[in-house]
Amino acid sequence: MSPFTTPGLARFAEEVDAERARQLARFGDQRHPDGTGNVGQQEYAESARRWCQDAFGCGYGTWADVLDKKVAEAKAERDPARLRAELIQVSAVCAAWVSDLDRRPAAPACQCLPASPAAPRIYCDACLAAGVSPS
Ligand SMILES: [Zn+2]
């Protein structure tokens, strides 16, 4: 029985566990100073917060905006307990983003022609549908 209640989180946690094992094998147990909480980082967090709010306010918010805001907020924290809480939030946003990616239908394979950069490109239906087209 999985200890996770959020759909998709068990798979995410298993993959994070596997990645952590690879990191530990490659780099060993890392200990570093936090390097967070300076004025520039706090100012950037405020600007990332405003950017994210404006982007979602206009209906154009993205996962990149959300993650950038959460990472910026973590990097703005000097207090270890608050930094820890922010890092957990960063992880939760990563889990949500991965969950969204995992539930998207597979994109059709690109069949653009030709592969040579010398000739003009003929765009395939998949790329045209995805908005990749000559401009
Ligand atoms: Zn294509």
Task: Give 60-109 pLDDT, tens digit per residue.
Answer: 999 999 999 999 999 999 999 999 999 999 999 999 999 999 998 887 78
Domain match, 96 and 125 both: no
| CA–centroid distance, residue 68 to ligand 1 (Å) | 29
Q: Which residues surround ligand 1, an ion (CB under 5 A)?
A: 110, 112, 124, 127
- Please indicate, yes or no, if residue 21 is contained in any of the structural domains: yes
Q: Average pLDDT in the 22-47 region?
A: 98
How many separate domains does the chain show? 2
In a domain, 4, yes or no: no
41 lies in some domain = yes
CA of 28 to the centre of ligand 1 (A): 42
pLDDT score at 134:
59
Is residue 69 in a domain?
yes
Q: Are residues 91 and 117 in the same domain?
A: no
Residues 66 and 116 in one domain: no
Gyration radius (Cα) of the chain, Å: 20
Domain-located, residue 63: yes
Domain that holds residue 22: 9-104
Residue 76 Cα to ligand 1 middle (Å): 41
- Using CA atoms, how far apart are residues 67 and 9, in angstroms rounded to an integer? 18
Q: Which of 18-32, 64-78, 107-121 has the lowest mean pLDDT?
A: 107-121
Query: Which of the pair, 2 or 56, is modelled with greater confidence?
Result: 56
Q: Which residue(s) pair with 122 in the sheet?
A: 113
DSSP 8-state code for residue 113 = B
Does residue 85 sit in the same domain as residue 125? no
Statement to judge: residues 76 and 124 lie in one domain? no
Q: What is the pTM of this model?
A: 0.77
